[in-house]
Structure 1
Amino acid sequence: MTDRIRIAVLGASGYTGADLVRLALTHPRVEIAALAANAKAGQSMQAIWPHFAPYKLPTLVKPEEIDFSTIDVVFGCLPHAASAELLSKVEGPRIVDLSADFRLTDPAVYAEWYGNAHPAPALLTEAVYGLTEYARGLLPTARIAACPGCYPTAALLALLPLVEGHAVDASTISVFAMSGVSGAGRSLKEANLFPEVAEAVHPYGIGKHRHMPEIEQEITRYAGHPVRVGFTPHLVPMNRGELVTATVDLAEGASLATLRELLAQRYDEEPFVHLLPEGVAPATRMVRGSNHAVVNVFADRNPRRALVIAAIDNLVKGSSGQAVQNMNLMMGLGETLGLEAAPLFP
């Protein structure tokens, strides 16, 4: 490996791929060596993404045209199934995958929720679930970092300290979530056209969203017993941002103060996850364009329940920013390198 880490971004024509390129451009140790996109191969990034006009970037190519022997880290910003099928043929570089293909440890669960057999089940044992704050010890030796989905990132950052601390009943958690339209990807979909989403909020994936088993897998891991989590996502008319509100039942002897103390202990030294002052509600405007997450807890009218609220930028901490954070740890770099930008406001 040279002094600069040579990266390839597969799926650079999508929202997550473009945001990854945006972050990589200012990373002091990264060289963008190759950019790939099947349908737009042969085009320049500037033609697809005008905001890259000031920068010299590689022309988009098909993934099979990349010489992976010259690459240190491959970022997979591809749809599920396509990602694992392609990455299973890549040998040598470390892999940071932003699709769903390596998040679920059980290929049978993947087949149930994604409708097809896992394309590369043998690679699942090489993958680390890359919720960075909980995978820090495993990432330096991991060949594959499976970046969590955006909803699971926000939900798990809010809930895992409370589950791990046995302060809530993990079997009765219910999550209400909202995301900006970029979370649905850049492909043309009628439901995502401006007249369809403007001045409206609507739920989707009701009772069957594919992030449900991912959230359950990780909460089960920390609860020590199988759990089922209620989860209902909503699309809101904004470009980026994500907010989750989880309703939790307090365990015997636990209080709101217990929850705050657990969150404070877990995140006090974290560079990107922040417990807000008492009474301050997380909002997407607090984190827009950044790799930061904000969280807080509130009393419910039912004295044995509490509300846990978290906000992230779905394209940064919920996707490409977390991917860079994982790469930094995998390659022995400072964890915050290239991610120090403050949130955009307004």
Structure 2
Amino acid sequence: MATLRAVQGHGNVGICALSVSVAKERHLAVAGALWRNFFPFLKSLRLSQTPSSQLADTAAGYTLLALEIPSSAPPDLQPQPVVSMMQLFAWDDMVTSQLVSRYLSHLIPNSVLTDSFNGIGYSSYQALSIRAWIRCVLQMYIDQPVSAINKTANEPMPTEQLVELTRLVFKLPEAENILMKARVDQKSYKQDPKNALLQFIKAAGTTYGSLQALSEKSAMVTKCQEYIGDILKYVKPYLTKRGPVEGLQITYRTIGYLVRYWALILATSKGQQLLFRIIDYLLLPHALFQQDKGLLPAMLAAIRETLPLFLQASISDTVLF
């Protein structure tokens, strides 16, 4: 009897193992079908200028599917399907900020996802997510009519999604570390993504100024470049259309903070190219005046408001200009 029970026990283990194997095969088959039949359509919509919230939700779901069953993802997403999905829906500057904001809000809180990036040694995950957030904040007025009148009382409020993304980004270890070193209190602007962006820029500059070792300074310059990406590209639509007013304000205010508080960074060999582009794009006459026209009132107001920031950088101990 004991022998029979032992045989039965081994048989039960074998049956359980077989059941698990069958379940895994079924899950893999279902996942493969989802990728094969629906993902191409989803991918074709990612550059839509009017994406639905369901598009971001579904893309986030596929990203988690790639995290759980990476082998089920199609060949064009391999060998790191999660990274490929993030590049498609979060880190591509061509994707609308609305889609990116909602997509990242689903994924940043996922600790398993964060651990997976750490596991494969993909250290740029946080920096690229911070960059995506910066772009989302800067482009929050992209779809607003150029003729919109600037009245503080009527200024569009940031979407709840952008407020939530700001909160989540500031919980990323890299962002938390920078804010902590600069002793920045998040409570005062947690509902205001624009002010949060300014405080982050200021904190990064303060952190750089506190570093002593040359290697640390060099690494911080590189990291800051990762954070802002091609920032002038993000605000180019405002400059090209000369509006809306809020777009010009957030452009000059943000870049003004960048020049003021990143003066030491922009004075380095790595940062000088960006400084020269800022001067060329935002301050030189050929960029400000339209042919046969004077300086537009909205742009003049934005420059007048932020000029002290640029001047404070120019008379700092780095003498930028």
- TM-score surpassing 0.5? no
Q: Normalising by structure 1, what TM-score?
A: 0.31
Q: Which has the larger share of helix?
A: 2
Q: Which has the larger share of strand?
A: 1
Q: Normalising by structure 2, what TM-score?
A: 0.33
